Chain A
Amino acid sequence: MTQQTKPEKLTPKDFATDQEVRWCPGCGDYAILKSVQKTLADIGATPEDTVFISGIGCAARFPYYMATYGFHTIHGRAAAVATGAKLANPDLDIWVVGGDGDSLSIGGNHLMHALRRDIDLNYLMFNNEIYGLTKGQYSPTSRLGTQSPSTPQGSLDKPVNAAAFALGAGGRFIARSGDIMQAHLVQTLTKAHAHKGMSFVEIMQNCIVYNDNVFGHFMEKKVQAEAQIRVEHGQPLRFGAENEKGLVLDVKTLGLKIATIGVDAEESDILVHDETNPVLAMLLARMEPPHFPVAMGVIYAAPAGETYEAEMEAQMQSAAKPGAKPDLKKLLTSGHTWSVDQS
C-alpha cells in the first residue's frame, strides 16, 4: 500500500474530476454539484471512502464529476445497487443521486424499500418535474396538465409529492432544498449526512431546456420570502417579507392555516417546528402553492434507531466464532453422516 500524503483539509475543488461536465449551460445541476463538493469539503469527507451511485437521467451523470468512487448504474436501480454496496462495506459513505423519473417512476419501488429499510444512504433526488435526457416528456412529479411531447393535450395523472411519499414509505430523514439556495443546500446536505440511517433530500432543480422556471413562483429570489417557509427544528414556523406570517394549527380541520401576527394570531399561537413529529412533517410536506408556502429544510428527522446494515453486521458478528476462521469441514459433516469401510 502506498502512503498517501494529503493536504490538511480538502477543498471543494479537490472533489472535482477532470471530466468535462456535459449538462446544458444554465442547468441547475451545476449549482447542486458545487454545493455537494462544498459539503464534502466542509464535513471533511475522504475521497476514497466516498461513493456516488446513480441511475439513469441527467442527474445520474453526477458521479463522473466527483473525484470519489462512482458507479453510474441503470435506470431506477441506484438505491438497490447502493444497498448491496453498503451491506458489503458499511464503512463506505454512500450518496445516491437520481432525478424524479429515476427515483419515483422506474425506481419508485427501490426508493420505497430503501427508505423503510433505513439503510444508511444519503439519497439526493433532483426534482425538475420533467424527463430531460429523453427530451422533455412529463414526469411523475409534473403538475396536472403539463404539456409535453407525450402529452400534447396536457398530462392526466396526478403528480406525486416526493417528500410525502418518502414519509409514507417510512423514511426517517426527509428534507427539501433548491439548486440556487447554496447556503441552505449545503446546510441541509450536512444534516442529511450526519443522520444515521437513510436520508432523503428533494432538491428543486431547474431544467432550463424543457421546463424552465417551473419553480419560479417559489424559487426566484424575490418571491422566496413569501412563497417558502424555512423550517428549522425548535424555531417558530414563520415566513413572509417581514417575517410577519406563521403557521397555526386549525383544530377544526386538523390542518394548517396561515395567520398574520398581530392580525389574527399572537406570536405564541405560531407552531414551533418539531422535526421529530411525523404528523406535523406530513402537514408541512404537503403544503403547496398558491395557498401555502413550500416547506424547505429538514421536514422530518426521527431519532436515530439502529440502521439496517448495522443490525445485519450484528447478526453476522453474533453468528461468527470470534477470531476463528469458519470451518467448512464442520459444515459439510453437519447432520447425519455414515462411513463406508474398505471392503
Chain B
Amino acid sequence: MDGGVTSVSAGQAPGETETSVVRFAGDSGDGMQLTGGQFTLSTAIAGNDLATFPDFPAEIRAPVGTTFGVSAFQINFGGRKIKTVGDQLDVLVAMNPAALKVNLADLKDGGLIIADQGTFNDKNLRKAGYEENPLEGETLTNYKVLSVDMSRLTSEAVKPHGLSNKEGLRTKNMWALGLVYWMYGRDRSATADWLKNKFAKIPHIAEGNVAALNAGHAFGETIEQHPEVRPIHVPAADIAPGLYRAVTGAQALSWGLTAGSQLANLRMVFCSYPITPASVLLHTLANLKAYDVETFQAEDEIAAICAALGASYAGSLGVTSSSGPGIALKTEALGLAISTELPLVVVNSQRGGPSTGLPTKTEQSDLFQAVWGRNGDAPLCVLATRSPSDCFDVAIEAVRIAVRYMTPVILLTDGFLANASEPWLIPDIDAYEPFPTQFADDPESFQPFNRDEDTLARPWAKPGTPGLEHRIGGIEKANGSGHISYDPDNHQLMTDLRAEKIAKIAEDVPLQTVDQGPETGKLAVVGWGSTYGPISRAVTESLAEGNEVSHIHLRHIWPLPRNLKELLSGFDQILVPEMNNGQLVRLLRAEYLLPAEGFNKIAGKPFKIRELKEAIQSRLGGNSA
C-alpha cells in the first residue's frame, strides 16, 4: 500500500485507514473485472481518490481453475491523492485456489485473505499446484484469513429467484462484492441499479445478482464470529470540485487525438494493425466515426503507417499506433515522413522487449527506438505521457506539434497506462486554444519546400488544390523547389534544416518545472512516462520525512525542454529511475555531460514506492527517517 497504515481497533468499531489496496482475483470466468469496476465506481462516489489496474491473463480462454487463467483487478483508494495502484495488498479476494496461489506474494504481512472455501476442493487445489489445502494448513499464519463458502451461500441466496445452479454460481462475484462493500461502508445502490439496467431483459438474473450482493453484505453484518474482519473507514479525499469520470489511458489518448484533430480542424484517419497492448486504441477510435474519425485496420504494421502517411499527404491527419515490435516495422516509413515533412502521429504503447518479449507486461524501453532508431539523420519529436488522464493533453500536444511543424511525432505510452484507470476531472474543451490547419492555396508563391520563418515547416498542399501540383518523395530534395537533388551542399542544408526544425519545437513548449521539492539542491529524481505515480509518491514521502529531494518529470523527450540542462545543473546528484536498462539517463548524459545516474527495473512491473524511497535515501547518505 501506498504509505498508509491500517489500524484495526478492538470490537466492532470501524478501523480507520488513510488508504487501502484491494485486489479481486478469480478465474477468467468469475467476473473480476466487472466486480472491480463496480467497486471503483462506488468508491469514487464515496469521495475517495483512487487508481486501478486490471491484470488479465495472456491466454484468451485459459482452462478453468489454472494459475494462468487467473484474472485480477486491483484498486488503491484513500483520503488523499492516490498516485499508484499500491505496492502491497491490504485485502486479497481469492475466488479459487489458483487466484490465491498467484496473488499471495503481493499481500502484505497481516493482510486479509477472503477466500471462497467452496472452490478449495481436490480438483481445484491440484490444478493450482497445491498439495494440501492452504486454508487448513499452517502456510497462511502471517495473514488474516476469512474462509467462507461463498459458492454455497450464494446458491442459497439466489434460489428464490429461479436461477439455475450454474446461473446462481455466476453471481458469487456480487456476493464477494457485497461483503467488501460492508467492510468499507459502501453504498450498494449504484451497483444494484447498474445490475437492474444491465440485466433489464432477464429480470431473474438481475434479481439474483442483487440478492447475491445483499447476501454478501448481510454476511458482513453478522460476522462477529470472525474477529479478524472489521469494518474499515477510509475518509473522503480532498478532491477539486467538478464533474468526474473514470478514464483509462487508452480512452484518454483516443479522445485526446480526436480533440486534437478537431482543434486542428482535420479529419483523423487512424490506421493500425492489431497488437497487444495497443489494439484498444483501434477499438476505441473505431466507435468514434461520428467525431470524424476514420479507422482502417491495415494488412500489416507497415501498411498501417504507410496508409496513415498517405492520408496526411491527402490532407487528413494520419495517425498510426502500435507497440515496440510493430513500431520497428514502421521505421522505414517514419523516415519517409521525416523526409517528405508530413504531419503524422505515431503512438507506441510500450511493452516488455526485445522481440515478442512480454506482450502483456509494461516497460519503457523504446525511448532509444523513438529518439534515434532510424537510418540516416532522422530527427522527429517524441512525447511521453505520465498517467491515464495525462494521455488526453499529451495527445492534443502531439497533434499540435505534428501539424504546426509538419513532422511525425512519436507519443510514448505503455501497457500499464493503457489499461490503468483513475478519476478524471473532465476538462472544459472550450478552454483549449484551437490551432486550425492552414493549407497552401496560392499558386503564385507556392513551392513545396519553402519554409515558414518561425517554424521552418514547409507548406501543406493537399492534392485537389488547383495550381499546386507538385511531386515529393524520399529522395533528397532541393530546399524550396522540392526537385530531386544530389547536390552535396543542399544535402548538408536539408539535414541541418530537418534537425533545426525539430530543435525549434523546444522554443514552443513550456519550460520544464519541478514537480515537487526545491528548485535546486541535493538530489533531482528525473522520470518520464508511467513511473510518474511511484516517483511522485516516493518523493512526497521522502520530503515528509525530512529529506531534500526534488522530482522532475519529462513530457517532452525530444527535443528536451530548453531549460532542462540549467535546471539539472542546480542539483548535486541526478537519479533517473526507468523501467529499462538506462535510456533517458544516457540521453541526458550525452546531451548535457551531467553525471546522471540510472536506477533501473525491468521486471514487467511498475516500481514500488518502497524501492524508490530506498534508492533516494541511499543517495542522500542513508539518513532514512
Contacts and interface: CB of A to CB of B under 8 A. Distances in A.
Interface of A: 1-2, 4, 17, 19, 46-49, 51, 53, 63-64, 66-74, 77, 80-89, 91-92, 109-110, 112-113, 312, 315-316, 319-321, 326, 328-329, 331-333, 335-343
Contacts of B238: 343
Nearest to B47: A340
A1 B243 contact: no
Contacts of A19: 483-484
Given A49-B463, A63-B473, A320-B290, 6 more contacts: A47-B469, A48-B468, A71-B473, A86-B310, A88-B313, A328-B262
Given A2-B442, A338-B244, A88 B316 contact: yes
Contacts of B483: 19
B244 A337 contact: yes
B274 to A, nearest CB: 15
A80 B308 CA distance: 9
B310 A333 contact: no
B471 A63 contact: yes
Nearest to A81: B310
A217 B618 CA distance: 82
Given A49-B464, A89-B462, A336 B245 contact: yes
Interface string B448-485: 00000000000000111111111111110000000110
A47 B469 CA distance: 7
Interface of B: 41, 44-45, 47, 238-246, 255, 258-259, 262, 267, 269, 271, 288-292, 294, 296, 298-300, 302-303, 306-316, 318, 332-333, 335-336, 340, 426-427, 429, 441-444, 462-475, 483-484
A109 B300 contact: yes
Given A74-B336, A319-B289, A326-B291, A82 B310 contact: yes
Contacts of A329: 429
B469 A67 contact: yes
B307 A83 contact: yes
Sort A-B residue pairs by CB-CB distance and give the 5 closest, nearest first: A72-B473, A84-B310, A84-B307, A319-B289, A80-B306
Contacts of B475: 72
Given A2-B467, A336-B246, A83 B310 contact: yes
B332 A74 contact: yes
A112 B243 CA distance: 49
A92 to B, nearest CB: 5
B469 A68 contact: yes
A337 B426 contact: yes
A77 B443 CA distance: 30
A293 to B, nearest CB: 35
A340 B239 contact: yes
A85 B296 contact: no
A72 B474 contact: yes
A112 B314 CA distance: 23
Contacts of B259: 328
A77 B333 contact: yes
B245 A85 contact: no
Contacts of B464: 48-49, 89, 91-92
A46 B466 CA distance: 9
A338 B42 CA distance: 10
Interface SS, A side: mixed
B228 to A, nearest CB: 33
A320 B289 contact: yes
A332 B241 contact: no
B459 to A, nearest CB: 14
11 contacts: A64-B484, A72-B474, A72-B475, A81-B309, A84-B269, A84-B309, A84-B318, A88-B267, A332-B245, A336-B246, A339-B241
B289 A316 contact: yes
Contacts of B429: 328-329, 332
B294 A316 contact: yes
Given A81-B306, A87-B269, A89-B315, A70 B470 contact: yes
A84 B469 contact: no
Q: Which one of A19, A80, A83, A336 has the greatest number of beta carbons of chain B within 10 Å?
A: A80
A19 B485 CA distance: 12
Nearest to B470: A69
A113 B299 contact: yes
A131 B238 CA distance: 69
B234 to A, nearest CB: 16
Contacts of B469: 47-48, 67-70
Nearest to A19: B483
B55 to A, nearest CB: 22
Nearest to B442: A2
Nearest to B244: A338
Contact of B303 (A69, A80, A335): A80
A110 to B, nearest CB: 6
B206 to A, nearest CB: 18
A91 B462 CA distance: 12
Contacts of B299: 80, 109-110, 112-113
B240 A340 contact: yes
Contact of A72 (B240, B294, B471): B471
B460 to A, nearest CB: 13
A84 B240 contact: no
